[in-house]
Structure 1
């Protein structure tokens, strides 16, 4: 699980080295799609396929699907590291094999929680699932550091790092893991699988294109293609619900959502995932584009140092997750899930109050509280969700839980990135035009640079490139300016000071929305019923009739 989620973030920090390695300019016309698909493709596939693969695990065996996931994941990592092409063809090779890698990662994600739930009795399940869940969440942030370290040596090492774990894990899994649950003999619900995958896929793909510039607009939400995808995807998901309520052997039993513990736990997970995903991207842009350059770090070194300065966030996960999972086995989940989400939301409010050039100790304390809040919530919530469903549906339930979590990450990029761009679009052009002209840039050139979509400016900082190089490089103006003005424009402080006001305005909108989502998640968590019980039962549903309560593998 750790490696599967490391790969969802390791590429983010490694992008500059990858694009240099395949000789591709990400800011050339039409190339920004490569950049977005490199990030979003993995998230999209893992969001769409985990329910289907979890249900297949119920039918053919969870261990069998898990082991196959190791093989696919490892082979895709090998193919990624031996990209034979350059330019756009090289980027397409990486995107295609990232999709295959995500297929293997989805097999691991969909079945790991179900295997652990089968293997551990209820009194130990919170601790076991806590370790699993925190491994997954911490992988998203440790991937940022690994990406920075490995890409500084060789961009292909970003994919080599998977090989030892993949090879050893594949051999170990085939030798050691055994099926501990009875298989469900049923037919595959083809129409349910197709409508779910196509509907959710259409929505997430539309979000990917919605945050790209379109026809002179800063974003593409008015594009007919985007609107058609969002509406068509919603219609297909409605069709999926109709199909699942009528077929004899559905892909996913929608009746599980009548279980308040299952429904509330997944609703809270989705909202928390949206808020957490937005935090990751906003903090990276904040650090790389403003704070680190103001404190003397080169733009090229900023991606690595951003991962290092975010370590308190990962530490919060690692401290709170297993401990709260263990405590929830003894004292119940509601205090930890709801209390964790309240702490999570309060940390966003604290970030709202920080100045743009913050003292690091305050920033570190707030993001550690954010990580601890997520850790307090995630492990007990996963245990409550998995304990609330019958044993025969654990694979599908685990897949649905992962779908909510992974979809939240994709949705967060669309939601929070759009909010940030809206905030920048209102204030950045005038600040940028005035700032460039004050350093001798001709008015026409400054006006043109200011009219470019803010997404280019944001992605420049995100990739460790001085945005002024991206804005003025194609015009050829920089070499003609006096040496003093050129040094100021390309220095470490000009752009951060220029963008601080507009960016802070957008950041306030983003963190306020994240805090609101966190509080909504806390409300959903508070409304859960008694975990492990169906509304019409007084005994847990996590074992078939006649099965011992504390079955071990």
Structure 2
């Protein structure tokens, strides 16, 4: 679980080194699509597949599917680390094998919680699932640090790191794991799988392309392709729900949603997942594109230091996660999950109040508390969901829980990014045009550069690139300026100062939405009810 989740986030912070390693110009036309697919493709596949492979685990054995997932994940990791191409072909190689890696990760993620629920009695299940959830979320958080550290050595190392773990894990799983749970039998719901997989894929792909510029628009939400995919996805998911009420062996047991703890836990998990995933993305842009350059760090070193400065987030989670799992066994899940959600919302409010050029210790305390809040929520919420379902349906239930979590993470990047781009679009072009002309750039060149889509500016900030130098060099504008003007424009201060005001406006909107989602999770957690006493061992 740690390895599967690690790969969901390690690439996020390693993208500057990856783009540099395969010699792909991040501001060239088409590069935005490659970057978005590197970030979102892994989550998209996991969101689509986890329910299906969880159901297959119920039918044919959870350990069997889990073991196969380890093998698939390891093979894909090996292939990723030997990318033979450069440029666009190199990007396509990475995207393709990342999608296969996500297939293996889905098989691990969908069945791990079900295997543990089968193996542990009710009074120990919270602690066991807590360790599993800690491993998953720790992988997500530690990936942010590991990506920075490993890319300081070699960009391929972010994929190498999985290979020895994968080889050992595959051999260990086949040798040691044994089936202890019930198999549900039945048949594969082919129509349900097809409509769910294609529908959710279409919806998430629409979000991916909706973030890219279209014509004269800063984003692509009016693009006929995006509209067609979005409406088709919604229609197919509606057909899927209809199918599930009529087939003998449905892919998703809709009856599970009659269980209040199951429904409330998944709703709360979706809300927290959207807030957490988007927050991580925005924090990386904030550090790499603005705060670190303003404090004297070179753009090329920004990924490493961003990972280091995010360590309090990881530490807070690792401290609270196991403790919360243990406490949920003794005192129940509802209170811990509810107060964890409330603390999560409070940290978003604190981040809103920080200036763009913040004092690091204030920032460190807030993200550490955010990590504590994630730990307080994660283990009890998983225990509540898995403990509420019948034993024969735990594979499907675990897959559904993972689908909500992965869909939330994929959607979070789309939602938060769209809000941030909308905020930048209203003020960044004028600020860029005025700032360049004040430093001696001609009006024609300044207007051309200011026409850069805001999404490209955000990606430049995330990738640790100074887009001013990158964009002005081909125009020849720098050759007509004084040495002092060139130094100001291409130094560490100009671009971060230029976007900081517009960026903070976007931060307020983004973190306000995050706080509202956390409060929604708190409400759902408070209303989940008390668990029913379990009869016998699972």
TM-score bucket (shorter structure): over 0.9
Between the aligned partners of 1:274 and 1:112, the Cα distance in structure 2 is 22
Between the aligned partners of 2:459 and 2:500, the Cα distance in structure 1 is 16
Residue pair 1:80, 1:94 contacting (<8 A) in 2 also = yes
Secondary structure in 2 matching 1:249: coil
Structure 1 position 480, deviation (Å)? 3.0
Structure 1 position 469, deviation (Å)? 2.5
Query: Alpha carbons of 1:473 and 1:256: their partners in 2 closer, same or farther (altered >3 Å)?
Result: farther
Confirm whether residue 31 of structure 1 aligns to residue 20 of structure 2: no
Tell me what 2:389 maps to.
389
Deviations 1:335-392 (A, max 9, x none): 1000000000000001111111111111111111111111101100000000000111
Tell me what 1:19 maps to.
19
Structure 1 position 289, deviation (Å)? 1.1
Residue pair 1:299, 1:461 contacting (<8 A) in 2 also = no
The within-5 A match list for 1:122-271 is 122-271=122-271
Structure 1 position 88, deviation (Å)? 1.4
Between the aligned partners of 1:507 and 1:470, the Cα distance in structure 2 is 26
How many correspondences in the alignment?
A: 538
Secondary structure in 2 matching 1:153: coil
Task: Identify unmatched segments of 5+ residues in structure 2.
Answer: none
Between the aligned partners of 2:470 and 2:41, the Cα distance in structure 1 is 25
Between the aligned partners of 1:99 and 1:217, the Cα distance in structure 2 is 30
Confirm whether residue 330 of structure 1 aligns to residue 330 of structure 2: yes
Deviations 1:24-65 (A, max 9, x none): 212211222111111111010011100000000001100000
Tell me what 1:501 maps to.
501
Between the aligned partners of 1:461 and 1:31, the Cα distance in structure 2 is 14
Tell me what 2:4 maps to.
4
Structure 1 position 471, deviation (Å)? 3.4
Structure 1 position 175, deviation (Å)? 0.6
Tell me what 1:79 maps to.
79
Deviations 1:482-527 (A, max 9, x none): 1100100111111111111111111111011110111111111111
Residue pair 1:195, 1:237 contacting (<8 A) in 2 also = yes
Structure 1 position 21, deviation (Å)? 2.1
Between the aligned partners of 2:220 and 2:30, the Cα distance in structure 1 is 14
Deviations 1:200-232 (A, max 9, x none): 111101000011111121100111111111111
Residue pair 1:324, 1:379 contacting (<8 A) in 2 also = yes
Residue pair 1:291, 1:357 contacting (<8 A) in 2 also = yes
Tell me what 2:43 maps to.
43
Tell me what 1:536 maps to.
none
Between the aligned partners of 1:475 and 1:518, the Cα distance in structure 2 is 47
Tell me what 2:55 maps to.
55
Between the aligned partners of 1:31 and 1:293, the Cα distance in structure 2 is 24
Between the aligned partners of 2:108 and 2:476, the Cα distance in structure 1 is 50
Confirm whether residue 279 of structure 1 aligns to residue 279 of structure 2: yes
The 10-residue stretch of structure 1 (100-109 or 76-85) with the greater mean CA deviation from structure 2: 76-85
Between the aligned partners of 2:423 and 2:246, the Cα distance in structure 1 is 46
Tell me what 2:445 maps to.
445
Deviations 1:394-444 (A, max 9, x none): 001000000000000111111110100111111111111111111111111
Q: What TM-score, normalized by structure 1, do the two folds share?
A: 0.96
Q: What TM-score, normalized by structure 2, do the two folds share?
A: 0.98
Tell me what 2:470 maps to.
470
Residue pair 2:345, 2:515 contacting (<8 A) in 1 also = yes
Between the aligned partners of 2:474 and 2:241, the Cα distance in structure 1 is 51
Secondary structure in 1 matching 2:152: helix
Residue pair 2:149, 2:307 contacting (<8 A) in 1 also = no
Between the aligned partners of 2:153 and 2:320, the Cα distance in structure 1 is 33
Task: Identify unmatched segments of 5+ residues in structure 1.
Answer: 534-538
Between the aligned partners of 2:140 and 2:205, the Cα distance in structure 1 is 21
Between the aligned partners of 2:469 and 2:266, the Cα distance in structure 1 is 44
Confirm whether residue 292 of structure 1 aligns to residue 288 of structure 2: no
Confirm whether residue 117 of structure 1 aligns to residue 90 of structure 2: no
